[in-house]
Amino acid sequence: MSVKELRPSGPPPSSGGSGSRRPSTDGPLTKLSKAIYRQAPEVWDNLRPLALFHNIYKSVYRTTAFPKTERERSEAFFNSFLLHIQPAKIEKHALRFTYTFGLGLLSTYLFLLLTISGLLLMFVYVPSVQDAYGRMQDLHSSVSFGYILRGMHFWSANAMIAVVFFHMCRVFYTGAYKAPREFNWVIGVILMVLTLILGFTGYLLPWDQLAFWAITVGAGIAGKANWISDNLNSLPHPPGAPPVPPLGDLTRWALLGSDTVGQEALIRFYVLHVAILPVIITLFIVYHMWRIRKDGGISSPKESPE
């Protein structure tokens, strides 16, 4: 490592005449500093700005900021909290932009932007049918940068859905779902479904006409599960057996908490959107990334014949 220990150098602050036994006329602060110097002369050296900055930096980052040798470059990755989940060395093929188009990382970035902008929006938003729409108007009129914040959340969400789908296409076209990465593909499909559900639950929150009627349509689709229970009930069944409950109505009720989209639906969608689903999707994202490493990194043409 090229990090050097800075040694104390230069003369310490003068401590007055040496050897003189005359009673001191120094003030209490000077006395204190002299006492500190007698006990630990290096303290003053440690307080010099350059040395202090260097020592603080070195305590946070054990690796040099500008690694030069191969060894330091490896250490820059595996000693770093944020970077250690990635390999210290990577195949040249994996770096080609036209191989992945960065789509997987891009969806992670969009999720990060969504998390940050979403948390900030939570300071303004109120999940109540009386207040929600007014708060949206506030974002566009009275909250500083409110419309930019909402716009970033809106565009990141729409972009994430598209990017996740393109990422899935990339993985398919390059055969990257094949062994040993089969299960990571399954996790990826789950992540796509979670992304769609997150988008859907967030769609209601502005409480405008678009939101209200889109969720009415969506909840209506969930109600179509009645088809299953209706058909089961029309089959011959033993006398006295209770009928299968209407599955679609149950699902719709679970989603909306009522027969129509209203306050109950809003609070359910809100809690799902800001707490439950983000935690679930974060766990799946972390697992997805861990699997990339454990399955041998990103797919490579070296793994199979043409």
Q: What residues between 57 and 116 interact with another protein by CB under 8 A?
A: 67, 69-71, 73-74, 76-77, 83, 86-93, 95, 97, 99, 102, 105-106, 109-110, 113
208 lies in the binding site for another protein (CB under 8 A): yes
Residue 130: CB minimum distance to another protein, A: 10
Token pair in block for residue 147: 């419309």
Candidates 41, 175, 243, 245; binder of another protein (CB under 8 A) is 175
Nearer to another protein, 45 or 264 (CB): 264
Nearer to another protein, 193 or 275 (CB): 193
Token pair in block for residue 138: 């506030």
> How far is it, in rounded angstroms, from Cα 223 to Cα 287?
33
182 lies in the binding site for another protein (CB under 8 A): yes
The pattern of x and - marking residues 127 through 156 that bind another protein according to CB under 8 A reads --x---x--xx--x------xxxxxxxxxx
52 lies in the binding site for another protein (CB under 8 A): no
> How far is it, in rounded angstroms, from Cα 72 to Cα 66?
9
Candidates 13, 16, 243, 301; binder of another protein (CB under 8 A) is 301
Which position has the token pair 């690694």? 67
> How far is it, in rounded angstroms, from Cα 291 to Cα 171?
15
Nearer to another protein, 136 or 255 (CB): 136
> How far is it, in rounded angstroms, from Cα 285 to Cα 129?
33
161 lies in the binding site for another protein (CB under 8 A): yes
Cβ neighbours around 93 below 10 Å, total: 12
> How far is it, in rounded angstroms, from Cα 279 to Cα 194?
11
Residue 258: CB minimum distance to another protein, A: 12
> How far is it, in rounded angstroms, from Cα 70 to Cα 48?
32
Q: At what angle do helices 263-271 and 209-222 cross, to 10 degrees?
A: 80
48 lies in the binding site for another protein (CB under 8 A): no
